Chains A and B, each alone.
Chain A
């Protein structure tokens, strides 16, 4: 590893003094957890099952018909927004728990 110069060390030292207790790293994930999203994903897998001969054409057609009817209802109740609200509310609760834990950590007396 390359050796730090005095100037580099001083810069890192000053930055380290001001670093937050917790650094947050956010990695966005593309995961549609709504029921309509799950049905879309399941239909993709059902298509593979049909191509592999694991399910019959009749059963596949029945799945498509049922899912189409269910998705129509989900679209009517605006399923994606409702689920997104629930996910956001739960995320807030989880975030609040984490903040409380950080607050407890920083308020602990140091040895």
Chain B
């Protein structure tokens, strides 16, 4: 039997095959994601506003007058047209509240974006192929587990060049870091009927005053005193509205995407803290054991 005071140093273990009962990965850190093409179909968004406020509304009503006149008193007669100038009526309306507004519905049929980059959270259950390990440690290796025996060796020290061990049980293997050589590639994926939750937004206020100018059709008032005297007063109204600011408050935004598809998503990953428990290795080749 092996003496308990000796240490077995295995310089190199070549594992041909084995089984692992459980694999635990502490953390997968994905790198920046690159998406070749992102398509969104049937986008709709609702902008809901509880109320709108027009602040400090002033209206300047302008009336422009002109006069067409004539007189005919026998020995004298004349006619003409004159500009009589204009009159302004200042009307201070004050704040105007619009209590309820209809929702503003935006329908966008199709949106396509290419070369999109994004970041995501942890990922698991992927086949990552080959890669580089660092910081591998195995604990509680039992050699052999099935009928392998070294007996009658009472050596203080010995060196064995090559030995084949048929079956070995390792309790725990820990890999500190694993960087797979390949990226995670998702060829394409589709998501349907995405309902975006209602989100509230802050008040929206216009930066600059709002000016509205309008002109009405001229109207005339005709007066006639027989064939002696007559005139027509023409009036052209203008309205100049000035709103200091426009405020939308109690805003809510909700939306939905009928269908979203992504194509050729490539994600580089770095996996940290892999634990493998109860590993049953079928064949280990040790090419140099020092006792």
Q: Which residues of A contact B (CB under 8 A)?
A: 1-6, 9, 12-13, 15-17, 19, 23, 25, 27, 31, 38, 41-42, 45
Contact = CB atoms under 8 A, between A and B. Distances in A.
B60 A6 contact: no
A41 B87 contact: no
Contacts of B209: 6
B84 interface: yes
B227 interface: no
Given A2-B213, A3-B213, 19 more contacts: A1-B238, A3-B211, A4-B211, A6-B211, A9-B58, A9-B60, A9-B242, A13-B60, A15-B88, A16-B60, A17-B90, A19-B87, A23-B85, A23-B87, A25-B84, A27-B82, A31-B76, A41-B75, A45-B75
Nearest to A31: B76
A3 B239 CA distance: 11
B215 interface: yes
Interface in B230-271: 238, 240, 242
A12 B240 contact: yes
Nearest to A20: B87
Contacts of B126: none
Contacts, number: 47
25 contacts: A1-B213, A1-B215, A2-B213, A4-B211, A6-B208, A6-B211, A6-B242, A9-B211, A9-B242, A12-B60, A15-B88, A16-B60, A16-B89, A16-B90, A17-B90, A23-B85, A23-B87, A25-B82, A25-B84, A27-B82, A31-B76, A38-B75, A41-B75, A42-B75, A45-B75
A42 B75 CA distance: 6
Contacts of B240: 4, 9, 12
Contacts of B82: 25, 27
A5 B84 contact: no
Interface in B65-119: 75-76, 82, 84-85, 87-90
Contacts of B58: 9, 13
B209 to A, nearest CB: 5
Contact of B76 (A15, A17, A19, A41): A41
